[in-house]
Structure 1
């Protein structure tokens, strides 16, 4: 799908093209690329993005899969409006925004997913358990962890849910930045990206 701001068929929209608000988390471009790669989207995928933040994942996935359906779950009303503005900026029309708290709101989402992206979340184990009930067979879940505690909880949940084909990737990314008259490499905070599949 063509976008007025991003006319390429590849993902990797620069962070600065998205509207953002102070204090609202945004998956940085390189992390987003890892997540999209691990989601293994199909042209007709139904994706749930839980804790959608600025909406970078639904926007990118919506552009990649114009025949698919993206459902962005966000508990904060102002942030949900931000997601809508970013969808409008990129001309993405296949994103449905649901305002609600996960895992409670997941029971009433309009269609079961075959792909789920979970970005953070204090109730990550409860969210994963609820997601698993709705996930279609052979569906994939991708979750991020920014600290050891989240990494442990996601890993433990995947084991309890009998997830298969589990993969764990830790990012190690440096970006070239200009500081004064010099160019230097600045590290992007490392993130764990975990993925697993439901086999039945």
Structure 2
């Protein structure tokens, strides 16, 4: 679905088009493209985005899957309000916002997802275990980590749950930035993206 502020059918919305709050992390455009690519969405996918933050993934995927539904889970009320603001800004109407701590707040959700995105978090293994029980057969899960401990926790969780067709990538992106009178390349913080499928 196209929208006046982003009149394209491709993902990759510019970071500066999103409303932000100081101190709230945001998945950078290039990293977001990798995450969305590994989700392998369908037009009618039901996606749970856990730790939705600024709402970049819900907005992008909501636009890409007009016949699908996105559930954005965020524990902080002010941040959840920011997701709502960004969805309204881009005219995205198929995103439901849940305020609460995962996995407890997920118990009220009745519709099983076929795609799950877990963006960081301290209880990632516990969240992964709960979500895996709800994920539809043939569904995909991705989880991100920006620390070695996070990477280990997700890897261990994937192994215990027997996630299939596992892929692990680490982003390595540099952007051209103006610094005074010079232009230089600055690194975007790297992140690990782990993905896999539930086949049985």
TM-score band, normalised by shorter chain: over 0.9
Q: Secondary structure at the match of 1:151?
A: helix
Distance in structure 1 (CA, Å) of the matches to 2:62 and 2:177: 30
Which range is displaced more, 43-52 or 104-113?
A: 104-113
**Aligned counterpart, 1:113:** 113
Cα distance in 2, alignment partners of residues 92 and 50 from structure 1? 18
Aligned to 1:72: 72
- After TM superposition, the runs of 4+ consecutive aligned structure 1 residues lying more than 6 A away are none
The alignment status of 1:8 with 2:4, answered yes or no, reads: no
2:56 and 2:156 map into 1 onto residues whose CA distance is 27
C-alpha distance in 2 between matches for 1:186 and 1:101: 34
2:104, 2:180 → 1: CA distance? 49
Matches for 1:37-76 after TM superposition, within 5 Å = 37-76=37-76
Cα RMSD of the aligned pairs, angstroms, is: 0.6
Which blocks of at least 5 consecutive residues in structure 1 are unaligned? none
Hey, what does 1:23 align to over in structure 2?
Answer: 23
Q: Residue 181 of structure 1 aligns with which residue?
A: 181
Q: Give 3-state SS (helix, strand or coil) of 1:116's partner.
A: strand
Work out the CA distance in 1 between the residues paired with 2:15 and 2:21.
Answer: 12
Which residue of the partner structure matches residue 165 of structure 2?
165
In the TM superposition, what is the alpha-carbon distance from 1:52 to its structure 2 partner?
0.2
The answer for unaligned runs of 5 or more in structure 2 is none
Query: SS where residue 53 of structure 1 aligns?
Result: coil
Query: 1:110 deviation in Å?
Result: 3.6
Within 2, Cα distance between the matches of 1:109 and 1:33?
27
Distance 1:16 1:50 in 2: 23
Q: Is the partner of 2:162 in helix, strand or coil?
A: coil
Separation in 2 of the partners of 1:109 and 1:29?
29
3-state SS in 1 of match to 2:54? coil
In structure 1, how many angstroms separate the alpha carbons of the residues matched to 2:130 and 2:24? 25
In the alignment, is residue 94 of structure 1 matched against residue 83 of structure 2?
A: no
Count the aligned residue pairs: 200
Offset at 1:111? 1.3
CA apart distance, 1:4? 1.7
